[in-house]
Amino acid sequence: MDADVAIIGAGPAGIQAAIQSSRKKARTVVLGRSGGSAISGTELENYFGAGPVSGDILLERGREQAEATGAVFVAENVGSASVEGGVFVLGLEGGDSVRAKAVVIATGVSRLKLGVPGEKELFGKGVSYCAVCDCNFYRGRRVVVIGNDSEAAAAAELMTGYASETHWVRWDLKATEAASKRAEGAGAIVHGSRPVSIDGDGRVESVTLEDGTVIPTDGAFIELGARSAADIALDLGAMPEIDDTLKVDASCRVAGVPGLFACGDVTGRPWQVAKAVGQGCVAGMEAADFAKGAKG
């Protein structure tokens, strides 16, 4: 699929960016699932002119507005990102790709946690939330990838090229059939039981499953949601801040990568819908102008 502007993230920032981009007659595609937004399932009380209001209602109305202006929504997360000949190429979890002249990152910053004993205590000591970032540390070692979505499948597939033994723990499979087959075909050992603890004395030594299985391992990669902004930014040649946020200027441009913009929680505090929508407005207009050649 070809687009002028690709927006990664279907929350308030991404949807507002889509509205502005489409209104400027730029071919706009929004990638991601609104259900992953931080306001999904919440009640907002401090948003101008609309409180209290359901976050889900705001997302639904925003999407309707964006679609009415011509934006196209694709409910798939981005699994890979690159720049080829000045064009952004975003690989989707289902195997398709989007080529765009400009990209707006509006993914938010939260990495979903598993919430089991040992996860917090062993973070950075074998527990990781980014297989792409840490794969090199596990060459010739044993790893466990934990997650149900296509991101976990992609991580399991990736780690088979580094680790001596790759286990994929999934208990409520949501990954596409294609992504699952690629991981299994690459040699990932599949387990169908929920993890209940990550164990080790100072470093990860094993993962225990609900069915009693204990998997000896050197690393546990928790992949429970869409790729973080930091992952995507690195793939596109940008350098995130130490806290995984992206620094932007007043036009929401990300330094060092022409045509790359960011808005919303991914740019740092305050994590408020009002800020996300305001930055989304700026990012959408600027990205559309860039895509159409108005770079000044």
Q: Please state, in angstroms and rounded to a whole number, the distance separating the CA atoms of residues 64 and 99.
A: 24
Tokens 């990568």 belong to residue = 257
Does 177 score more than 90 pLDDT?
yes
Q: Name the residue with higher pLDDT: 8 or 133.
A: 8
pLDDT surpassing 90 at residue 196:
yes
Q: How many Å apart are CA 74 and CA 61, to the nearest integer? A: 17
Amino acid at 158: L
Q: How many CB atoms lie within 10 A of CB 45?
A: 9
The reported pTM is 0.69
Per-residue model confidence (pLDDT) at position 296 = 43
| Pair of tokens at residue 83 | 């720049």
- Give which of 229, 199, 196, 226 is closest to 210, Cα–Cα: 196
pLDDT at 291 over 90: yes
Residue with tokens 């730029």: 26
Q: What is the pLDDT of residue 50?
A: 79
Find the DSSP H helices in the chain. Answer: 12-23, 55-68, 131-134, 150-159, 177-185, 229-235, 273-291
Nearest residue to 38 via CA among 61, 15, 55: 55
* Domains in the chain with CATH codes: 2-111+227-291 (3.50.50.60), 127-222 (3.50.50.60)
Mean pLDDT of 262-275: 90
What pLDDT, in 10s, does the model give residues 46-98?
Answer: 888 877 888 889 999 999 999 999 999 999 989 899 999 999 999 998 889 99
The mean pLDDT value for 109-137 works out to 85
Do the beta carbons of residue 288 and residue 5 sit within 8 Å? yes
234 in Cβ contact with 76 (< 8 Å): no
Tokens 């995130």 — which residue?
Answer: 240
Cα separation, 189 vs 208, in Å, equals 15
Mean pLDDT of the chain: 91
Place 295 in a pLDDT band, splitting at 50, 70 and 90.
very low
Least trusted range by pLDDT, from 42-46, 148-152, 168-172, 213-217: 42-46
Residue from 13, 11, 82, 91 nearest 287 by CA? 13
Looking up tokens 């209940």 gives: 196
